[in-house]
Chain A
Amino acid sequence: MTVLLLAEVSEGALAIDAVAKTVSAVKSLGDVHVLVAGKGGDEAAATAATLDGVTKVLFAPDHALCHGMAEPTAALIVSLAGDYSHIAAPSTAFAKSVMPRAAAMLDVMVISEVIGVVDADTFERPIYAGNAIQTVKSSDATKVMTVRTATFDAVGTGGSAPVEEVALSDTAGLSEWVEDKVAASDRPDLTSAGVVVSGGRGVGSEEDFALIEKLADKLGAAVGASRAAVDSGYAPNDWQVGQTGKVVAPDLYVAVGISGAIQHLAGMKDSKIIVAINKDEEAPIFQVADYGLVADLFTAVPELIEKI
Chain B
Amino acid sequence: MKVLVPVKRVIDYNVKVRVKADGTGVDLANVKMSMNPFDEIAVEEAIRLKEAGTATEVVAVSIGVKQSQETLRTALAMGADRAILIVAADDVHNDIEPLAVAKLLKAVIDEEQPGLVLAGKQAIDNDMNATGQMLSALLGWSQATFASEIKVEGDSAVVTREVDGGLQTIKVKMPAIVTVDLRLNEPRYASLPNIMKAKKKPLDEKTAADYDVDVTPRLAIVKTTEPATRKAGEMVGSVDELVSKLKEAGAV
Q: Which of A38-46, A51-59, A126-134, A204-212 contacts B (4 or more CB under 8 A)?
A: A126-134
For the complex, give the distance between the alpha carbons of A304 and B245 in Å. Answer: 13
C-alpha gap A219/B124 in the complex (Å): 34
Asked if B226 is at the interface (CB within 8 A of a chain A CB), the reply is: yes
Check A298 for interface membership: any CB of B closer than 8 A. Answer: no
- Within 8 Å of chain B (Cβ to Cβ): is A225? no
Answer yes or no: B138 CB below 8 A from chain A CBs.
yes
Nearest opposing residue in chain A for B167, CB measure: A181
Interface size class, chain B = 35 or more
Q: Are B137 and A105 in contact (CB under 8 A)?
A: yes
Contact with A along B232-252 (1 / 0, CB 8 A): 111111111011011001011
B137 near A104: Cβ-Cβ < 8 Å:
yes
Chain B contacts for A104, CB-based, 8 A: 99, 102, 133-135, 137-138
Q: Within 8 Å CB of A101, what residues of B?
A: 133-134, 136-137, 143
What does the 1/0 interface line of B84-99 toward A look like (CB < 8 Å)? 0000000000000111
Query: Which stretch, B45-53, B60-68, B158-166, touches the partner chain A?
Result: B158-166
Q: Is A164 engaged at the interface, CB distance under 8 Å to the other chain?
A: no
Cβ-neighbour of A304 out of B164, B181, B242 (below 8 A) = B242
Contact residues in B for A99 (Cβ distance below 8 Å) = 133
Roughly how many angstroms separate A293 CA and B245 CA in the complex, as a whole number? Answer: 12
Closest B residue to A270 by beta carbon equals B230
Q: With a CB–CB cut-off of 8 A, which chain A residues contact B158?
A: 178
CB within 8 A of A293: which of B132, B165, B236?
A: B236
Which chain B residues border A68 with CB–CB below 8 Å?
163, 168
A183 touches B166 (CB 8 A): yes
Distance to closest chain A CB from B234 (angstroms): 6
A201: Cβ under 8 A from any B Cβ: no
Contact B221 A96 (CB under 8 A): no
- Residue ID in chain B nearest A251 by CB atoms: B251
The interface residues of chain B lying within 8 Å CB-to-CB of A96 are: 129, 133, 145
Q: CB distance A113 to B127 under 8 Å?
A: yes
Q: B202 to chain A: closest CB distance in Å?
A: 30
Please give, as numbers and ranges, the residues of chain A lying within 8 Å of B235 by CB-CB distance: 286, 291-294
- A112 interface residue per 8 A CB criterion: yes
User: Interface-forming stretch among B109-117, B170-178, B192-200?
Assistant: B170-178
Interchain CB contact under 8 A, B218 and A138: yes
B81 within 8 A of A: no
Contact, CB under 8 Å: B130 / A112: yes
Instruction: Judge whether B133 and A289 touch: CB under 8 Å.
Output: no
Q: Please measure, in the bound complex, the distance between the C-alpha atom of A109 and the C-alpha atom of B126, giving whole angstroms.
A: 13
A128 and B183 within 8 A (CB): no
Contacts of B182 in A (CB 8 A): 227, 230-231, 237, 244
CB pair A122–B246 under 8 Å, yes or no, is no
Question: In the assembled complex, which residues on chain B have CB atoms less than 8 Å from the CB atom of A125?
Answer: 127
A:237-280 near B, CB below 8 Å: 237-238, 243-244, 246, 251-252, 269, 273-275
Indicate whether A291 sits within 8 Å of B127 (C-beta atoms), given known contacts A109-B97, A136-B219, A307-B239: no
How far, in angstroms, from A217 to B192 measured CA to CA in the complex?
51
Complex CA gap A174/B141 in Å reads 7
Q: Are B127 and A126 in contact (CB under 8 A)?
A: yes
A282 in contact (CB, < 8 A): no
Q: Is the CB of A179 within 8 A of B224?
A: no
Report the nearest B residue to A269, measured CB to CB.
B230
- Among A132, A179, A236, A289, the residue within 8 A (CB) of B26 is A132
User: Do B26 and A219 have beta carbons less than 8 Å apart?
Assistant: no
Stretch at the interface among A19-27, A69-77, A80-88, A155-163: A69-77
Tell me if A28 is interfacial: C-beta within 8 Å of chain B: no
A176 engages B163 (CB within 8 Å): no
Contacts A135-B221, A294-B235 given; indicate if A130 touches B133 (C-beta within 8 A).
no
The closest CB in chain A to the CB of B240 belongs to A307
A176 and B170 form a contact (CB under 8 A): yes
Known A-B contacts A105-B137, A178-B171; A93 and B162 likewise in contact (beta carbons under 8 Å) = yes
On whether the beta carbons of B227 and A308 are closer than 8 Å, the reply is no
Q: Is the CB of B172 within 8 A of A308?
A: no
Q: Is residue B29 within 8 Å, beta carbon to beta carbon, of the partner chain?
A: no
Shortest distance between the CB of A263 and any CB in chain B (Å): 9
B contacts, CB < 8 Å to A: 11, 16-17, 19, 26, 97-99, 102, 124-138, 140-146, 148, 158, 161-173, 181-183, 217-227, 230, 232-240, 242-243, 245-246, 249, 251-252
Besides A129-B124, A130-B227, A176-B171, 10 new A-B residue pairs in contact (Cβ under 8 A), listed by A number: A93-B145, A97-B146, A134-B221, A179-B168, A180-B168, A238-B164, A243-B127, A244-B182, A292-B233, A303-B239
Give me the 5 closest cross-chain CB pairs, A-B, nearest first.
A174-B142, A290-B233, A104-B134, A100-B130, A100-B133
Q: What are 17 of the A-B contact pairs (CB < 8 Å)?
A: A100-B130, A104-B138, A107-B99, A109-B97, A111-B219, A128-B17, A132-B225, A135-B221, A138-B219, A139-B220, A175-B171, A191-B164, A238-B164, A291-B234, A293-B239, A304-B243, A307-B239
